[in-house]
Amino acid sequence: MGSTSSVFENCVALRDLAPCQDPGVRSDRLEEMMQELFRLQDLNCNGTLEEAELLKLNEKIAILHGGSDAECSSVRRRYSQIFRSELNAEGPVTFTRFRRYMYRTLDALDPDEPTQAMILDQFIAEADLALATFPGSLKVNPGFMKAGAHP
């Protein structure tokens, strides 16, 4: 399993390259995969993605990749910065906003849709594995991390 951390490390720079606009029509397969990824990341199943959810899930993915030596504080800082600068500094993120950001990221990585599907497959597999491996520690209550609170 390859590391997704390198995929997101440079994503913040993407906002300067491509304005956050509607990514347009995508294949049914890609749309279903995007919905599945969002569903997996929505740990409290409230229909929005909260910063705490993104941080917790990516910490566990980092542990899966690096074992107990994973730099969780570095993961928290990186994904908190991505969440606040790219998704929503004020609070929870809707699927529409998440979709727009993810397609912009995928388009910058590779415009080829089959390649984008492979990337999404990897993200889904990692999220699914983290949820299966750490089920109890990935529960998040709504409002757990208020906007402006720093991890």
Residue 145 lies in a domain: no
Name the 3-class secondary structure at 142: coil
- How confident is the model at residue 23, as a pLDDT? 64
Q: For 57-103, write each residue's pLDDT tens digit.
A: 999 999 998 877 778 888 999 999 999 999 998 999 999 999 999 99
- How confident is the model at residue 140, as a pLDDT? 62
Residue 140 lies in a domain: no
- How confident is the model at residue 66, as a pLDDT? 83
Q: How buried is 60 (Cβ within 10 angstroms: 0-12 exposed, 13-18 middle, 19+ buried)?
A: buried
What secondary structure letter does DSSP report for 17? Answer: H
Dig out the tokens for 102 from the structure: 């993810």
Rg (CA), the chain: 15
Dig out the tokens for 74 from the structure: 């570095």
pLDDT higher at 7 or 43: 43
Residue 146 lies in a domain: no
Residues 107 and 104: their CA atoms lie apart, in Å, by: 5
Query: Over 80: is that where the pLDDT of 8 sits?
Result: no
Dig out the tokens for 138 from the structure: 């990935």
**Number of compact structural domains in the chain:** 1
CATH number of the domain that residue 124 is part of: 1.10.238.10
Residue 151 lies in a domain: no
Residue 34 lies in a domain: yes
| Biggest CA-to-CA distance, the chain | 41
Which domain range does residue 127 map to?
5-135
Give the helix/strand (H/E) hosting 37.
helix 28-41
